[in-house]
């Protein structure tokens, strides 16, 4: 009786953990062939793996050409996570998508330079706005205010 | 002492909107290691705050440049790149050749 109760609880906890993990890595399409992957919170190796998997699947499904990974919400990053990020970028490239990483905090920039992770292959832009602007440039979009589109009377 | 110049009105009103802002750090006198670290922190923080696309570090006024200074400048360049800005270092003098070539600068 007591064992069954504990097992049931364990099952619910596992289910909820799974739900949190699913929710924590949304891949969003903002334009035709442009995806955004905002990452918030701590990245552990398991989450990093899941993140890569979901991103690659989404690139396939949406035929994405450019992906913006925004890590503004990530407080810290160690070498294993950084290397995983580099691998994700590499894998995306093989699927035909260019990855732009945005929102590196000064702390993360400092850590990465100090521990000497080679990020020269990775395109990084300061913030999400800059990243989307760069992605639009790569895709050939140009965003204009409405007044400039309508001919002046 | 270092003069940190933030985006000027000229650069903000530049005809090309793609040009973006740039930061200028003009080093006015000899810097201690602590000063250099502080300069690095300040620059990297400002790159994000002003959405700068470029950083210019002027080292003309320096008489000597040791390996720590070279490494710090290299780190500034790398960190600024990660935050979305290119770095240009101006005023390197020929007599500093040895520390620059011995440490793997970019």
**Helix, strand, coil distribution of chain B in percent, nearest 5:** 45, 20, 30
Q: Is B36 on the interface with A (CB under 8 A)?
A: no
Split at pLDDT 50, 70, 90, the class of B21 is confident
State the CATH number of the domain containing residue B42.
3.30.750.24
Domain of residue B54, residue span: 3-104
Using DSSP, state whether A150 is helix, strand or coil.
coil
Q: How many residues does chain B have?
A: 106
Task: Please list every residue in chain A whose beta carbon sits closer than 8 Å to the beta carbon of residue B85.
Answer: 126
Say yes or no to pLDDT of B106 above 70.
no
pLDDT recorded at residue B15: 39
First vs last C-alpha separation in chain B: 25
CB-nearest to A124 from B45, B52, B81 is B81
What is the distance in angstroms between the Cα of B36 and the nearest Cα belonging to chain A?
Answer: 14
Least confident of A88-97, B20-29, B33-42: B20-29
Does B82 contact A127 at a Cβ distance shorter than 8 Å? no
The structure tokens listed for B26 are 């003009």
The overall average pLDDT reported for chain A is: 88
Q: Is B75 on the interface with A (CB under 8 A)?
A: yes
How many interchain CB pairs under 8 A, A with B? 44
Least confident of A2-11, A127-136, B3-12, B35-44: B3-12
Q: Is A125 on the interface with B (CB under 8 A)?
A: yes
Strand order in the sheet with A34-40: A28-31, A34-40, A66-73, A98-102, A123-125
Number of domains in chain B: 1
For residue A48, the surrounding DSSP H or E stretch is helix A45-62
Task: Please list every residue in chain B whose beta carbon sits closer than 8 Å to the beta carbon of residue A113.
Answer: 75, 78-79, 82
Q: Which residues of A64-98 are buried (b: 16+ CB within 10 A; e: fewer)?
A: bbbbbbbbeebeebeeebbebbbebbebbeeeebb
Summarize pLDDT for A79-89 with one digit per residue, the tens: 888 888 888 99
Say yes or no to pLDDT of B103 above 60.
no
Least confident of A66-70, B33-37, B93-97: B93-97
Higher pLDDT, B99 or B92: B92
Summarize pLDDT for A114-136 with one digit per residue, the tens: 888 877 778 899 889 999 999 99
Percentage of chain A lying above the pLDDT 90 cut: 44
How far is Cα B56 from Cα A15, in angstroms, rounded to an integer?
A: 53
Split at pLDDT 50, 70, 90, the class of B101 is low
DSSP A97-131: -EEEEE---HHHHHHHHHHT---TTSEEESSHHHH
pLDDT recorded at residue B10: 45
- Name the CA dihedral angle for A77, A110, B79, A99, rounded to a multiple of 10 degrees: 0
How far is Cα A50 from Cα A58, in angstroms, rounded to an integer?
A: 12
What is the distance in angstroms between the Cα of B29 and the nearest Cα belonging to chain A?
Answer: 25
DSSP B14-44: -S-GGG-EEEEEEE-S---HHHHHHHHHHHH
For residue B61, the surrounding DSSP H or E stretch is none
């Amino acid at each position: 009786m007591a064992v069954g109760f504990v097992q049931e609880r364990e099952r619910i906890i596992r289910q909820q953990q799974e739900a949190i993990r699913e929710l924590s890595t949304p891949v969003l399409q903002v334009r035709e062939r442009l995806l955004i992957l905002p990452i918030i919170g701590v990245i552990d190796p398991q989450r990093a793996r899941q993140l890569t998997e979901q991103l690659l699947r989404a690139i396939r499904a949406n035929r994405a050409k450019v992906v913006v990974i925004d890590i503004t919400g990530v407080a810290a990053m160690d070498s294993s996570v950084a290397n995983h990020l580099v691998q994700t970028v590499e894998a995306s490239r093989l699927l035909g998508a260019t990855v732009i990483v945005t929102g590196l905090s000064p702390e993360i920039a400092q850590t990465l330079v100090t521990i000497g992770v080679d990020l020269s292959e990775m395109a990084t832009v300061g913030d999400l706005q800059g990243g989307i602007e760069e992605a639009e440039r790569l895709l050939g979009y140009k965003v204009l205010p409405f007044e400039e589109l309508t001919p002046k009377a | 002492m270092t003069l940190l110049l933030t985006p000027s009105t000229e650069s903000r009103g530049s005809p090309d909107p793609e040009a973006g802002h740039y930061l200028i750090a003009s080093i006015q006198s000899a810097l201690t290691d602590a000063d250099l670290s502080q300069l690095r922190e300040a620059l990297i923080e400002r790159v994000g705050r002003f959405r700068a696309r470029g950083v210019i570090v002027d080292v003309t006024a320096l008489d000597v440049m040791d390996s720590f200074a070279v490494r710090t400048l290299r780190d500034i360049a790398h960190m600024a790149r990660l935050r979305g800005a290119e770095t240009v270092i101006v005023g390197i003098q020929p007599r500093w050749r040895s520390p620059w070539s011995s440490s793997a600068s970019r």
